Amino acid sequence: MRILVVEDDLEAQRYLVNGLKEAGHVVDDAADGETGLTLALSRPYDVAVVDRMLPKMDGLHIVAEMREHGNAIPVLFLSALSEVDDRVKGLKAGGDDYLTKPYAFVELLARIDALMRRRSPQAVKTRLQVGDLELDLLTRTAMRAGSAIDLQPREFRLLEYLMRHASQVVTRTMLLESVWEYHFDPQTNVIDVHISRLRAKIDKGFDTALLHTVRGAGYMIRARA
Amino acid sequence: MMRFNKGGSWPSILRTQAYRIVLVYTILFALSVTALLAFTYWNTKRTLDAQTDQIIEAEITGLSEQYQQLGLRGLAEVVISRSAHGGPGLYLLANAQKQPIVGNLDAWPANMTHPDNFVEFDYQRRVENQLETRRARGRIFALTGGFNLLVAQDVHERYQTEQLFTTTLPWTVGLVLLFGLGGGALMSRNMLARLDSINRTSGEIMAGDLSRRVPIGAAHDEFDALAENLNAMLDRIERLMKGVREVTDSVAHDLRTPLNRLRNRLEATLRHLDPASDETAQIESAVAETDQLITTFNALLLIAEADAGVARGEMAPIDLAAVAADISELYAPLAEEKDVGLQISPSGTTMIDANRSLISQALANLVDNAIKYTPSGGKVTVTASDTPLGVELAVADTGPGIEAVERARVVERFVRLEASRNSPGTGLGLSLVAAVARLHEAKLMLEDNAPGLRAIIRFPRHPPRPR
């Protein structure tokens, strides 16, 4: 995957670029807004990671210009600004996701994967399947190996999000944002408890576990271990 | 507490300070006008009466000399001749039965009995063929043999003036009161309108719109001077607030950038280490410490922002009951795992204007704390209710509670009670809740739940206006 990184803090940029390269991505970088915009408009990228505060042209402006030119690639904003309304401003300007510095690299990577997945054209799915676990989005029912699993509405949404991102790392923050629509860190990790309940419902009594904990990152649902 | 006067309705005008002042002054003025007029009236009457009495005394002296020299007959002749003059002098010589003998009065006045006093009486006089009732003032001069001589002066002019005085006085006072109170009301209305515009502007500013200014009139009066001063003050406050925002932004930027690098380096190191090695465990705990630092820093920043009123961007109508239900749902498994009963008291829709994210976070902090401190088998109750005192969001637990003396302290930054030192947390949870409450003009109250703690966020009945 080709990723554009626009970040003026050179050390942060180096870590970001190295990390993404190690994860198997092709990365271009720019240290100011104008260069970033030129690159974004001249080469095909799958995702752009853009810092909010940049010399020459700020992040919001770049994305606004990109959208103006019909460039629709997913943009992930990075921001060291204080959070409360900046997230809204970022998303209004055309950003697709927003991450406040300092962030965990795994968080960034997981979000980039999610953005790419969102981009690849998908037929409107009515069923999701991972191994022998099936989710019917129309009847809102779940089955594993042919037997029905009784899920609460929120558990269904949680499982749906995980299955839409099957074989991808999903972080706790991503779950909190997408399934609960909260943009803050609860003091206690409540997500873990929700996951363990869900795990009890879908994996208990089966030989192969589908819902895995990814150490230091989050969770992943996948068919094979 | 904000108070908006609804511009210029009459009951509110009558309650104004300006109107009270006008009322007091008008009444004092009316009283002094009355006193002044009454004194003038009394003094004038006294002086005029004294003059009349002097004339009458002089006449009586003259007549008594005539009487001594000429006797009753002579006196009668003098009376007849004086009566013929047609001037203000009035005379009547009467016998013991008060039957007139001679004089220019037709009858003896009924109230004329005692010989030594000056008495006023009405008499009839023919003026141009018409009988006219006029006022006179006179005294009896007692003669020997039961005869009486009444000597009087016509005081009708004075009497008419006097009448004019007494009929005019109530009108004058009435008009003084009418103009005074009416003018006062208009003045107060005008003042109230000016004050209202200042109150409205300050209300809007308190609700977060710092760009508002008090309108300045063209009169250059003291209100305009006040408005100009207020505006200058507001300019300064706005500059300071902008400064706070810039400082928080740059502190955020300046601290987050190195924290970001620190975390990046730790993570990069981690990626190249054998996951089973000792170093990995060390670095992982360093990452965890960094994350704790970041959490504390974010909470502090949020409190600073909330206190500076800069985090207001997303105010929108939200249903507190829905927020309570959502947060309870989020925490339900955690409570269940700890064997703590988490329940929400049923309530209707309770709408307020608020920032959903901040309110959710505040409630999450309260519920988190409640579950954390409630022992197994205990109960945590979340309530959103519309009370006469305001819209309330409350979390009650059956844990150990907080001593009354400690309750005010735990809201302060970084204060953690001894009992909780060892449990994870930033020590900012409650101060964040308090900051969120302040941002919404709400109040965080900690009460005894007997047993346990009851934390209440009470929102004012009139929510801050959305920007």
The domain that contains B162 carries what CATH number? Answer: 3.30.450
In a domain, B36, yes or no: yes
B260–A9 CB contact, under 8 Å: yes
Residues A189 and A168 in one domain: yes
Residues A164 and A74 in one domain: no
**E strand or H helix at B226, and its extent?**
helix B222-271
B326 interaction partners in chain A (CB closer than 8 Å): 180
A82–B249 CB contact, under 8 Å: yes
CA distances in angstroms from B177 to B24, B31, B185, B281, listed in the order given? 11, 10, 12, 90
Residues B298 and B321 in one domain: no
Residues B163 and B14 in one domain: yes
Residues A79 and A179 in one domain: no
Of the residues B290, B308, B326, the one at which a domain ends: B308
A154–B329 CB contact, under 8 Å: yes
Of the residues A119, A138, A171, the one at which a domain ends: A119
Q: What is the ipTM of this complex?
A: 0.84
B256–A85 CB contact, under 8 Å: no
The enclosing domain of A48 has a CATH number of 3.40.50.2300
The domain tally of chain B equals: 3
Cα dihedral across residues B326, B327, B331, B332: positive or negative:
negative
Residues B193 and B290 in one domain: no
In a domain, B216, yes or no: no
Residues B46 and B122 in one domain: yes
Residues B261 and B406 in one domain: no
B261–A15 CB contact, under 8 Å: yes
Nearest CA in chain B to A85: B313
The enclosing domain of A215 has a CATH number of 1.10.10.10
B295 interaction partners in chain A (CB closer than 8 Å): 185
In a domain, B215, yes or no: no
Residues B150 and B232 in one domain: no
CB-nearest partner of A183 from B264, B331, B357: B357
Whether B322 and chain A come into contact, CB under 8 Å, resolves to no
Residues B287 and B169 in one domain: no
Q: Mutation test of the interface with chain B: which of A175, A190, A215, choosing the one with the most B Cβ atoms within 10 A?
A: A190
**How many angstroms away from the CA of A183 is the closest CA of chain B?**
7
In a domain, B415, yes or no: yes
**Tens-binned pLDDT, residue by residue, of chain B (467 aa):** 344 444 456 667 777 777 788 888 888 988 988 898 889 888 988 998 999 999 999 988 888 888 888 888 888 888 888 888 777 888 888 888 888 888 888 888 888 777 778 888 888 877 777 888 888 899 888 887 788 888 888 888 888 888 888 888 888 888 888 888 888 888 888 878 888 888 888 888 776 677 788 888 787 888 888 888 888 988 888 888 778 777 777 777 788 778 888 888 888 888 888 888 888 888 888 988 888 888 788 777 777 777 666 555 567 888 999 999 999 999 999 999 999 999 988 777 788 888 888 899 899 999 998 998 899 999 999 999 888 888 899 999 998 888 777 777 776 655 555 555 455 555 677 888 888 888 888 888 888 888 888 999 998 876 444 43
A12–B261 CB contact, under 8 Å: yes
User: How far is B247 from A218, CA to CA, in rounded Å?
Assistant: 34
- Which residue type is seen at A144? R
CB-nearest partner of A85 from B252, B256, B313: B313
Residues A102 and A53 in one domain: yes
User: How far is A214 from A217, CA to CA, in rounded Å?
Assistant: 5
CB-nearest partner of A19 from B268, B326, B334: B268
**How many angstroms away from the CA of B326 is the closest CA of chain A?**
8
User: How far is A210 from A138, CA to CA, in rounded Å?
Assistant: 22
Residues B296 and B326 in one domain: no
A85 interaction partners in chain B (CB closer than 8 Å): 311-314
Kindly give, in sequence order, each residue whose CB lies less than 8 Å from that of residue B316, ignoring residues fewer than 6 positions away.
B353, B354, B355, B356, B466
Chains A and B form CB pairs within 8 A to the count of 124
Q: Please give the residue range of the domain that contains residue A136.
A: 127-221
Residues A104 and A31 in one domain: yes
CB-nearest partner of B253 from A53, A187, A194: A53
Q: Please give the residue range of the domain that contains residue B287.
A: 222-308
Residues A99 and A172 in one domain: no
CB-nearest partner of B260 from A12, A85, A190: A12
The enclosing domain of B454 has a CATH number of 3.30.565.10
Residues B153 and B255 in one domain: no
Of the residues A68, A97, A119, the one at which a domain ends: A119
Confidence category of residue A83, pLDDT binned at 50, 70, 90: low
Residues B303 and B320 in one domain: no
Nearest CA in chain A to B372: A188
**Residue B378: Cβ within 10 Å count:** 20
CB-nearest partner of B301 from A82, A105, A182: A82
How crowded is the C-beta side of B202, counted as CA atoms within 13 Å? 14
**How many angstroms away from the CA of A89 is the closest CA of chain B?**
10
Residues A114 and A145 in one domain: no
B261–A9 CB contact, under 8 Å: yes
Give the gyration radius of chain A's Cα atoms. 19
User: How far is B313 from B319, CA to CA, in rounded Å?
Assistant: 18
Of the residues A83, A103, A119, the one at which a domain ends: A119
The domain tally of chain A equals: 2
pTM: 0.64
In a domain, B210, yes or no: no
Nearest CA in chain B to A216: B284
The enclosing domain of B252 has a CATH number of 1.10.287
